[in-house]
Chains A and B, each alone.
Chain A
């Protein structure tokens, strides 16, 4: 596959891994957080931990939009589908995410609700055009990557004069989540989280550019390398982070220069600004209430706002008390520190957010990394 295989070349990967081993100083630790779930998934799918020296630690961040959507918002979506008779359109990986009382969209569909899996918000718009006598709601989730398309369909719906199409908006913002981690007591006074640098998001950064991360370098003294999702991108970014740390630099560097500029995509940012406004605060699964971390639909587009058209109440729901996802999403704990991991909580029966999506840290550990868990367990028994 042209333009993909080049970034998965095994020989080149082993060469970069060798350079990482040579340049990583054995006297120190390198604690690096990959923010994105896409990176977490790639790290495990390609077996990257096996290639890194023991003192280079990858810490998995909260950048999985499915994982961080709170139960209460998911309950609202299920409520929309069940009680308001709408056609609820959702991206595929939201379908199995458990809400409260173990409900999810697949079960709602099995019980008679009209829930459709779409690959694009344009598919939802088309459903609205094809079903003029039905209300169609697009369940919009995601970071800055999926926000511009949602903005576009809202404009398109207005242009078409659609009266049966609304968006249930749950778009969240990457820089706010990074701030939340760096400002957390765990990273601050408690000193539980030692973070040296970040592998910055790939697709998100194509939209927002590299500029929004600069304050994490200047204000927090963290090294940042924006990286693509391919395994060679990741290895190269890890090498660049190690070099920054060895040199004592805290900068934003861009490994993903084939797609990311400092300014980002101006047209995409512009349409997002025109369509959405900042929420004062938004609940994140695992992180709690994070100020200025999510978007809502602007009043001038309120006729396309599902939260205005349909009376659905927001009820805060509690997570399982033994679940460590909060600490895992903060980078303080690893999935193997959780007593539920692999027993009560598995991909078939996920209890916490990190197990629900294949991009979640727990799901990635469980599905791809369990052979390492067994080595660790065997070693500790012996």
Chain B
């Protein structure tokens, strides 16, 4: 594509840093957009260079979701804030059964942030968007003074279209439904924890950050009767199950023995005093479907590369108290409550 303006010097992506002017609306900002964002995100809608993106959507109900990403560190095993900002919103859109179509991207950059890091993030976003089959069609860049941000924050908003015949919602879950999980719990949270200050432990665990649109498409095509899907991100599986129990006015019973958890994640949680049920995921989904369809759905999930470790982890019960409970490996029962505030490690 052609640039709007010829600049006297090319943006120094190797050694340059974000300056206040990059968010100021002038030539420096135009150059950052031209030489970085437009290069990476290149698509016909963005290239119209309007204040808004103008597009047509295929017929069907339109869904929209937004998500702000403030993760620290920005780069982590298995991903970075760029890819995560695409996956997070794509997954929120896809959980309705929708096919994700378009994304917006809003950047809040801190003065002094290395352009080489920004470039790495932007390229990662572009790649993630391509894999997810979405176009980043509009955006915004702001710069805050040094010390007033944490390098880079990204907000993305996504739009998708729900195919005919699907109706997935948090309030449609019914007693008797089976609960299915697409894979192992806690990978993302533990990968991030392993890098936090003062907490250096070596691990081979990588974040599970990934776009789930294709797995979702396979699932809803085969079993359109699915009542609800969610991606258990912050607050982990425990928060998601409690949300659904509240919205649908049901109880949920899960089985500890069926819970897929990597041994490394289990070990890390053990010595950090964390419970994998409360640890964040960025590439897993939980689905609620009528019991008669559960085995069929499980088979579809397991055939998909993103669902090879899928499992039926529980069932929905009639419970006016809307409790989430877990049958432990011992046969005893315990509550799986909402997490109160941040999960903090225990000392002994």
Contacts and interface: CB of A to CB of B under 8 A. Distances in A.
B257 interface: yes
Contacts of B347: 65-66, 91-93, 141-142, 146
Contacts of A168: none
B334 A1 contact: no
A259 to B, nearest CB: 14
Interface residues of B, number: 29
Interface string A36-65: 011001001111111100000000000001
A203 interface: yes
Nearest to A49: B332
B268 to A, nearest CB: 10
Contacts of B337: 347, 366-368, 370
Nearest to B329: A10
Which range holds the interface residue count of chain A?
Answer: 35 or more
Contacts of A117: 198, 344
A123 interface: yes
A19 interface: no
Nearest to A374: B321
Contact of B332 (A48, A145, A347): A48
A231 B330 contact: yes
Contacts of A374: 321, 323
A125 to B, nearest CB: 12
Given A1-B266, A117-B198, A371-B323, A359 B346 contact: yes
B330 A119 contact: no
A375 to B, nearest CB: 10
Nearest to A8: B329
B64 to A, nearest CB: 31
A60 to B, nearest CB: 15
B331 A38 contact: no
Contacts of A371: 321, 323, 325, 333-335
A329 interface: no
A52 B325 CA distance: 19
Contacts of A38: 348
A341 B323 CA distance: 18
Contacts of A50: 331-333
Interface of B: 198-199, 257, 263, 266-267, 270, 272-273, 321, 323, 325, 327-335, 337, 340-341, 344-348
19 contacts: A44-B334, A45-B334, A47-B330, A47-B334, A51-B330, A65-B347, A65-B348, A91-B345, A92-B344, A92-B346, A117-B344, A146-B347, A203-B348, A231-B330, A348-B341, A358-B346, A368-B334, A369-B335, A371-B325
